[in-house]
Homo-oligomer: A and B are copies of this chain.
């Protein structure tokens, strides 16, 4: 039996309020160089400590053992969507990261400006890493001249350096397509092809991109060094059932960075704009408490400092969140989960596969007799080690959102 179908069948409506605090990349590993402590273990976290006395803990496998997730699969899992079932292409993630609002069926591509020789051969895949302002100017040139290709709207947005994003919004389009990128210098830009030759929608999208190239390349042909561009990760935004459809919860997102707002929007969350600090996010949560049933509160800095390998900064970022926590706890949700979307260990300086610790607090979570919220403590918590996609189900259970299964 399909488990999602079972959960849906058992779903009952309640007035419960659920909140998920994501410390991005929270999980870490203890090593000799860090005196056998993780940033979470080294941090002073009086508020988390107090909470953990009345909470359950465990560790979550983001996707599958040994798999390191990107932000997309990491968050989809936390929202209760199997990241292997609901896959979001790189072009879509890149567009979300630039704050573009996608609609189901939009085809998005990551793009690079590049340098081509007289024969159209790629001589520099990054056009000498042009400055962001040059990229913006080039995107402007393209945007002004190309608003539509056939019946599809074209949206172009500059990113950092040589990077930009192109979106095709039209009827009957679908990805994924092969790359318009030789992935090395010294070759022509390959023609984009459907990955499924039976898909008429992919064929239409591939044709559209060929026409886009025909229209766009002449517009920048005289520029130096960026006189061409490459498209990669060409994918459409999948139609994902919303949080409200799946769980009957009105959901809101309190995030600062575009990527996470975009991921929240993918599953139908309302974006609450404005707050810039975690304290402001928690204040706003309290202010909006009655308007939503589920709050996703995203905190980026743990991941950012983990990527830099900066143990002290990651530790301080945790302490900063802890210090703000009482603001949220004044209007305590019925179910509160605090975790990461994955681990970003300082020694790895990047995302990793290590299970992230999770703390779950409700009147029915039970207490694991743990004095603190830490990776080591979480190892012996009552939640055990489980796949992140089940966190939402545990939150629902703690919110009494499920009928009994069987008699």
Contact = CB atoms under 8 A, between A and B. Distances in A.
Interface string A188-228: 00000000000000000000000000000000000000000
B66 A394 contact: yes
A397 B10 contact: no
Please tell me how many copies of the chain the complex holds.
2
B390 A84 contact: no
Interface stretch (A24-32, A116-124, A132-140, A313-321): A24-32
Given A379-B380, A406-B83, A65 B386 contact: yes
A6 B88 CA distance: 15
Interface in A242-281: none
B397 A67 contact: yes
A115 interface: no
A172 to B, nearest CB: 25
Interface string A341-357: 00001011011111100
B67 A402 contact: yes
16 contacts: A3-B64, A7-B66, A30-B367, A31-B366, A66-B390, A68-B403, A68-B404, A70-B407, A72-B406, A88-B406, A90-B406, A352-B397, A353-B397, A379-B380, A385-B385, A385-B386
Given A73-B405, A94-B407, 6 more contacts: A10-B67, A31-B54, A32-B54, A69-B406, A353-B402, A383-B385
Interface of A: 1, 3, 6-7, 10, 29-32, 36, 53-54, 59, 63-73, 83-85, 87-88, 90, 93-94, 233, 345, 347-348, 350-355, 363-369, 375-376, 379-386, 390, 393-394, 396-397, 402-407
Which 6 residue pairs of A and B lie closest in terms of their CB atoms, listed nearest first?
A29-B366, A384-B385, A66-B397, A66-B393, A65-B390, A70-B406
